[in-house]
Amino acid sequence: MTRTHVRRTIATASAGALVAALGVMGFALPAANAATGSATGFATQNGGTTGGAGGQTVRATTGTQIHAALCNRASTSTPITIQVEGTINHGNTAKVSGPGCSTADGVIELKDISNVSIVGVGAGALFDQIGIHIRGSENIIIQNVHVRNVKKSGSPTSNGGDAIGMESGVRNVWVDHATLEASGGESEGYDGLFDMKADTKYVTLSYSVLKNSGRGGLIGSSESDLSNGFVTFHHNRYENIDSRAPLLRGGIAHIYNNHYVSLNESGINSRAGAKAKVDHNYFEDSKDVLGTFYTDAAGYWQVNGNIFDNVTWSARSGDNQPAGPNPVSTTTVSIPYSFTLDGASCVPAIVAATAGANRGLKVSDGSCTPQNPEPTTPPTTPPTTPPTTPPTTPPTTPPTGTNLSLGASADGSGKASGTSYGSAIDGSMSTYWSPSSSTGRISVKWDAAKTVSSIVIREAAGAVGNIGAWRVVNHDTGAVLKTGTGAGTITFPATTLDKIDFEITSSTGTPRVAEFETYAG
């Protein structure tokens, strides 16, 4: 269904460029913190999110300069912090090419890269009618930016109509103290404010304002796109939103200490097996703020300490299953990180004092009083995931038994031209999968769960020895099963799962995986 009933509380603003059309080239500053404070929520998992910490800092006043800063890096993983001031729009955002990027006109493109921070500074960073697109990337921080009026139809268009959109194997993104807004719904040309799809995991949205939109955001683009999740939403203000605050299709979300005002049709929409932990939020002047809506594929929730102030609830029928008028938990959700809850009664005040761009980056420590974030010390190099066992070079003796990869399917991230994921599970050493850069991820998946205790990674001729550091991940839960270096046989405690990932985190040349074999014993 199309939902376009957003109340027009704020008129569309003009572009109002703060810098000359051509601008000046970004200039390098000494290495600095990637952002103020440290990541929270699920962005702290899977090795953590540090963005460009420890790398060079560059100032940019145009979108083209943002792209140039990415492209001028030595590689797609060289850490960098881009400090942005001024108005970024279509007129000053052009495609740039180079070793550290893959960019496009009319959108801020973070594609197949890692270790980047984009931080608004000075008078502020306004992305006017131009979206931020994160695709196939990891370890990204976006802080203190204002993104408004991004359209998928009409003129100009950008990023499929999403203010911030993520897709295709994205990992570890922290968006903090942002303001994301539209001026209407789909009929006015807008889509979502904060969308995640196609295998996006370990994301946190904190201290941000999302307003005046038909769609707040989603996790999963359809009922079959269920490989997303592990997303935290905390201390955000959702205001004048029709629906999707957020929409969850599969996966796990932790939603705490948010202030919801004027959710016009529905709010947190948990469906298709999704699980939402809904903690100490304040819902005000809204309708159907939690439930399963517009589908018969049920989702679930665990509720704790929320306040429902002037919330109305529809009757349950068919594909409309609100959780109220007296919401109760329908599942339990385990949260792997530490967090401190503000009392729900003070959420409107603490969110008003902290959320949004250009508000001073204040945070809460659970005392309902705005605080300055703890200072952080930048590392000299991007961190790697702490190993669950000491890194080892795998032996070459293969396991016995049936190769479970034969007859399975495969996917991943960063596929290079001329290769395919299936080439790594076809039993042939003459075909191979290769990532588009020096790192990437390939996965084997089954229709029904399999128990796996070892894998074999075989490199193609001409690329033997190229694979450096790696980790094996239970895709279902995000747990790291093993870390090490070099190809060969890798063993770990027997694990039952639907999908297993082999993530290459460093290499001495472009990796070529001829076979990704999996075994039960």
Q: What average pLDDT does this structure show over 383-408? A: 62
Q: Are residues 315 and 416 in the same domain?
A: no
Shared domain for 334 and 464, answered yes or no, is: no
Question: Residue 501 maps to which CATH number?
Answer: 2.60.120.260
- Residue with the bigger pLDDT between 247 and 392: it is 247
User: Is residue 262 included in any domain, yes or no?
Assistant: yes
Q: What is the mean pLDDT of residues 305-332?
A: 97
Query: What is the pLDDT averaged over residues 371-391?
Result: 52
Q: Is the pLDDT of residue 360 over 50?
A: yes
Q: Per the domain annotation, does 200 fall within a domain?
A: yes
278 vs 31, more confident: 278
Residues 355, 484 within the same domain: no
- Cα(361)–Cα(194) distance, integer angstroms: 20
Q: Residues 237, 267: contact at Cβ < 8 Å?
A: no
Residues 100 and 53 in one domain: yes
Between 431 and 191, residue with greater pLDDT: 191
Q: Which domain holds residue 60?
A: 42-371
Q: Name the pLDDT band for 28 (thresholds 50, 70, 90).
A: low
**Residues 219 and 311 both lie in one domain:** yes
- pLDDT band for position 435 (50/70/90)? confident
Look at residue 521 and tell me whether its pLDDT is greater than 90: no
pLDDT in tens, 109-136: 999 999 999 999 999 999 999 999 999 9
Looking at the annotation, which residues are catalytic? 244
- CATH classification at residue 315: 2.160.20.10
- Indicate whether 9 belongs to any domain: no
Q: How far apart are the first and last CA of the chain?
A: 49
Convert the pLDDT of each residue in 32-60 to its tens digit: 456 899 999 999 999 999 999 999 999 99
**Same domain, yes or no: 367 and 416:** no
DSSP strand E in 67-162: where? 80-88, 108-111, 114-128, 132-135, 138-143, 145-148
Number of domains in the chain: 2
Tell me, what's the pLDDT at 35?
Answer: 84
Residues 336 and 439 in one domain: no
245 CB-near residues (< 8 Å, 6+ apart): 210, 216, 217, 238, 260, 263, 266, 267, 268, 269, 289
Q: Is residue 293 part of a domain?
A: yes
> With the CA atoms of 328, 334, 339 and 340 taken in that order, what torsion angle do they form, in degrees rounded to the nearest 10?
30
In a domain, 440, yes or no: yes
Does residue 307 share a domain with residue 224? yes
> Do 81 and 178 lie in a common domain?
yes
At 449 the pLDDT is 92
What is the pLDDT at residue 88? 98
The band of 291, judged by pLDDT with boundaries at 50, 70 and 90, is: very high
Which of 371, 392, 419 is the endpoint of a domain?
371
* Residue 437 scores a pLDDT above 80: no
- Position 375 pLDDT exceeds 70: no
By mean pLDDT, which of 8-22, 202-216, 314-328, 335-349 is the weakest?
8-22
β partners of residue 166? 134, 196
Last residue of a domain, one of 324, 355, 371: 371
Establish if 24 belongs to a structural domain: no
| pLDDT class of 469 with cuts at 50, 70, 90 | confident
What confidence score (pLDDT) does residue 328 get? Answer: 97
Question: What's the rounded Cα separation, in Å, for the pair 271 and 80?
Answer: 38
User: Is the confidence at residue 13, as pLDDT, over 60?
Assistant: no
Percent of the chain with pLDDT over 90: 74
Model confidence at 209, pLDDT cuts 50, 70, 90, reads: very high
Judge if 443 and 313 occupy the same domain: no
The answer to the question of residue 73 being in a domain is yes
Per-residue pLDDT band at 480 (split at 50, 70, 90): confident
Same domain, 340 and 426: no
Give the mean pLDDT of the chain.
89
Helices (H) and strands (E) in the chain, counts: 2, 34
pLDDT value of position 416: 77
Of 14-18, 102-106, 436-440, which one has max mean pLDDT? Answer: 102-106
Supply the pLDDT for residue 73: 95
Q: Looking at residue 229, what is its pLDDT?
A: 94
Residue in this structure with the two tokens 């550091």, named with its chain if needed: 469
Confidence of residue 380 (pLDDT cuts 50, 70, 90): very low
Residue 390 scores a pLDDT above 70: no
pLDDT band (50, 70, 90) for residue 340: very high
Q: For position 476, what pLDDT does the model report? A: 83
Among candidate residues 51, 161, 59, the one with its CA nearest the CA of residue 106: 161
For residues 335 and 413, state if they share a domain: no
